[in-house]
Chain A
Amino acid sequence: MNAKIGVYVCECGPNIGQSIDIPRVLEVIPASEGYGDAEIVAKGFGLLCSGDGKEYLQKEITENGYTHLIVAACSPRDHNSTFMGVCKAAGLNPYLYKIINIREHCGWVIHDKDKATDKAIQYIRAGISRVLYQSELFERQIEITPDVLVIGGGIAGIEAALSLAGPDRKVYLVEKSGKLGGKSARFTSLLPRQGRGAEALREKVEAVRQNENIQVFLETEVEGNIGFLGNFEVVLAGTGNGTKTDLRVGAIVVATGYRLSDPKSFPGYDYTDSDDVYGALEVEEMLSGEGIALRSGKEPASVALIHCVGRKEKGYCSRICCNYMMKIAGHFKKISAGTEVTEFFFDMCLPHKADQQFFDETADLGIDFKRVIEITLSGTSVTYTEIGGGKQEKTFDMVVLAPAMEPCEGTDSIAELLEIDLDERGFFKEAHQTTDAVATSIDGIFLAGASQGPRGISDAMAMAQALAGRIRAQLVPGGKITPEVKVSEILEAYCTGCQTCLEVCGYGAIYYDDQKGISVVNEAVCRGCGNCYGSCPSGALRTKHFTNSQLYREVTEALK
């Protein structure tokens, strides 16, 4: 059957009508040569994107039996989807149509009417050439499972599990230690605005245990994972007994938390295990356990709290330490009002609206603040330079350090296993700092809490809820996902198995088939950017709807 192409030129009022000689276009286009036996029909219309216009176009497609459609009008960014809808309604595959931008790229920028008309004709001809090489493309639907795997049983993982679990959605919560709750469950109290208090946190742990839709695996790690959004096949392994469990989940949440860095690894922190120098977590444990006591058993009369330990070396602020150091300072003062408490800090980081108030109220308990530009520690002797001052030294009974938060052990191996990226600091890398902080480059794998970067409990819980929102929206029980249509594909005959495409793909959408020795695109994951196409040395790649054949046609027309 010969091709029959309908070319419809939109007048768009004065925008196209005045700047382009439409009658000349309509005259010249059907007479165009070089399209084989294709029949070209060209017509004009006032405003194709209007209700009337769409109706007219739909009728024209059906009545004329067009095999392809060209709409010469405005930018595809404005109305590509509008006319795709018209094609669908008329029974024409929407990928056998092309919109030609003769408004923004012709009439509006070429102010000589003749030249603008020439250009418009060139673009339309290019479009006709191209559209003849376009293929029908069909949307696919893929079944999914709505269940979720949460890696990490700390507060972020717990919040994610509780936000997601339901009769239609099972959550598998995997924790490598023998207990749920992570570090936060060991805190004596929480900041006034964090997760409604330590008691509430412990209640959450209990809620997870009682929830019949959450299956908890303690002393377990993730050993294997393949698949994609909606269809991950995961293998769990018990760390003690080695039992394996196979699971099929739709999404994976990485909530593996953090660890505090070792202050002794930073220059200027020189002390031994027999000195009364403690990390913040140790102090938390003392406060929620036996109480504060020096190694000698006595109570301290003077305490130095040193902020920002390792901040400069690591190159980032750990966000929550100023707040928790104030909390700890407050505890010391409440235990004994006479204790001399001195906070050494570089900057006070109080980004949340309620932080300043908490700071002010705690400061009122009688805390001495020293804003420093330099500080070193030797045993419990602090040598510091206050801003605008000279070097001073003071020895304290006890020193508490706020070390930089860093990625927890095993981050590297989890990243490798799940094929997600790490940032330059070693934390898991989010898909986009601003608009996609809970996602990763792999669709369906999410980040919550300090695994992504230093943050406190509130922010960790917010992230857990945010990813729950995404999972609920994307993986609807009983629903399906409709992946991108204009995806890349690899022609077996040409592929040499060099795997260059695999390496450049930012989405992990290409995998290597050992048996055949070629690379294969997973169409469910591919986003259609074409980077693989650009990298292939063998010409084996095709990105649907943007193949070289199709683009050549646009180019050829321009160079006639």
Chain B
Amino acid sequence: MTESDGKREFTPRIVGFLCNWCTYAAADLAGSTKLEVSPSLTVVRVMCSSRVDHNLLLTTFFKGADGILIAGCHPGDCHYGKGNYYTRRRYAVLKKVMEGLGLEPERLQLSWVSASEGNRYADVVNAFSEKIKALGPNPLNRRSDF
């Protein structure tokens, strides 16, 4: 979907890589408390946010994702000990790379959401959706012939 003459509304397509132990549980809690969460985001479950490698993230952008959210346990809470510290470092590196590729770094967001933070999950997703909506479609969209 592209914004051409402003008549067709841009609905962002966001991919959310959520860690199984914390954020996925928070997403479930948001569900069981019937909060409203933007359908712009598609959840992809991983066991740990540290699983998310650069290859996966870049391919996701090249395939046209307008935004990517990586979400995991707060630092210190990682089910596997230190996984999320690595996530944080890799995310920082990728942010630097993104500009060089012509992608606004804001399109990638890393958030810590713990299992009891259902409200926060909804807030994070909805706020991110709004942000991406304001940014507009992925500028690399035309290059999605992988």
Contact = CB atoms under 8 A, between A and B. Distances in A.
Interface stretch (A20-28, A271-279, A386-394, A526-534): A526-534
A110 interface: yes
A16 to B, nearest CB: 11
B132 interface: no
Interface of B: 13, 15, 20, 24-25, 27-28, 30-32, 34-37, 39, 42-48, 50-53, 55-56, 59-60, 63-65, 79-83, 86-87, 90, 122, 144
B34 A116 contact: no
5 contacts: A75-B31, A126-B42, A506-B80, A529-B51, A556-B63
Contact of A555 (B15, B31, B36, B53): B15
Given A530-B46, A558-B13, 5 more contacts: A109-B31, A431-B81, A536-B53, A554-B42, A559-B65
A546 B51 contact: yes
Contact of B122 (A109, A504, A556): A109
Interface in A101-115: 101, 103-105, 108-111, 115
Interface stretch (A87-95, A117-125, A262-270, A450-458): A117-125
A110 B37 contact: yes
A559 B41 CA distance: 10
B50 A558 contact: no
A119, A431, A546: residue with the most chain B Cβ atoms closer than 10 Å = A546
A552 interface: yes
Which bucket holds chain A's interface residue count?
35 or more
Given A539-B55, A559-B65, A530 B32 contact: no
B32 A104 contact: yes
Given A111-B36, A530-B48, A504 B86 contact: yes
Contacts of A115: 39
A529 B22 CA distance: 13
Nearest to A558: B42
Contacts of A110: 36-37, 39
B48 A555 contact: no
A330 B42 CA distance: 68
Contact of A534 (B45, B59, B86): B86
A385 interface: no
Contact of A108 (B31, B64, B81, B82): B31
Nearest to B141: A559
